[in-house]
Structure 1
């Protein structure tokens, strides 16, 4: 399918990118990193803009250190980084769940965090939407998942927000008006259209990961039809630290693809000092109850919701035992 026409801009610094954005019409442009999600939507004529600003030449969005990952870094580069594998092996392994090797070599960290919300009625060709009927996220004014005109129920389906959220990572945002930082667990809000607190003229420049994250056992598990390419039908992440007696000291959990935004809950205060078996069961049940999947993917709603408890329970058991999925070599 042929791309919708647009003018491509390729700034070579953050200042140039922001200056360019300030000169373009409001809502008349998109930022692009690897383009693995955006360009597919452009081919399907989904909210295509007249201008696209490529960020692959912006040096401020690159680099991997013990405290920060540039939002423009390719996913494959991050997963293969010695720094990431040593300090945050759960993140390195989570990245291997994203799509396929080809896409991970093109897609960026910032792009995955900002992946477009997905829905059976939205992610279709123009012909399909014209025959079946479009939705409020595309050409219509009504949601076809839950028929009404106020809320879009397209599901957030990024893989990396959950794992970075349980590691308490923070996003660096830049715009012509200045810079700010937002915790990932406070970044996502709204519905399938108004899906986060980022303004249109803002760029995610980098992701800061606190020193504490390297002391945690963390991981991500993903439910999907195939073990490649597919977006999550449900995904869950957790971070765990046990005290010397083997009881809970810190416990956080997160889910993706079971609501319009990812869910993050910190159970540390509630579960501190408890035996893991009891705590794990309660946390998995609480996250299952929090999940609100809708009939907007190919898997049954009830199954996706039930698998939150199953997958998260297995993940927590693996973290306690120090088991990994073996998707990356040991550091």
Structure 2
């Protein structure tokens, strides 16, 4: 019996020795291949995953310093920590679904965020991405005739994209179509070398037979007109205008992105000199309104407040109707 145990032990040691020699030979071969080989070494590629809604994330290659973390959640209000450097009313993306939010309070390293989407899946420790820009809207051809929610997400496009009556969390899409072509008619009196400033009309686009959309120089731009696109079809992102200022040439398209909390500048406010005829004789006779004025319609349930707003949209002497529904009338 002792002789058999000794033989088995020697066999195991021999097997281990042969296995280790094979491993060493393989490692030496790999070392020789890496030293004499001219191939590039393999690199690992780290990619950000898609959001849970199936849409691609809104930002790419974001630095770690641009992230904060969820500290607390109370309904649509989220508190985030490690947010030093953020600004008031800055646009942020909350959680792994990248929900749209806006900073409404800053206190030390903490930020209070108003989230404009459902926050049921947001938990403590989720990332909060700082975008470095305010909540903004897109202005340009195509805005008339569209239906948006409160943060300018196109509801019709989302319904076609998702084939659902519900809006997925964190969905990210353009408010205005990037593929639709618009017939741009440049202003004939403009020539290269003319001085232009913010608000100057450089051309028009007919969004419909009645709606004439004036294409203007952005409010924060001025200088010498370098070139203006000829008459033709363009989408909202194609450059149609070049302005030179102090040797710097800037190119502009028909699309303008503007912060929602910053009023658009105006040259002058027109006087309210024309009546607003709403189509209801009792209102036009007893409660006349003016174009550019403000009215309020108080009343109890079932008195016809919604009917009056619909009547204004259908029959008033207006060229364009912008209907903003909140609460019951928004549903």
TM-score after normalising by structure 2: 0.24
The structure with the largest strand share of the pair is 2
| Higher relative contact order (Cα pairs below 8 Å, separated by 6+ residues) | 1
Larger Rg: 2
**Hey, which of these two has a bigger chunk of helix by percent?**
1
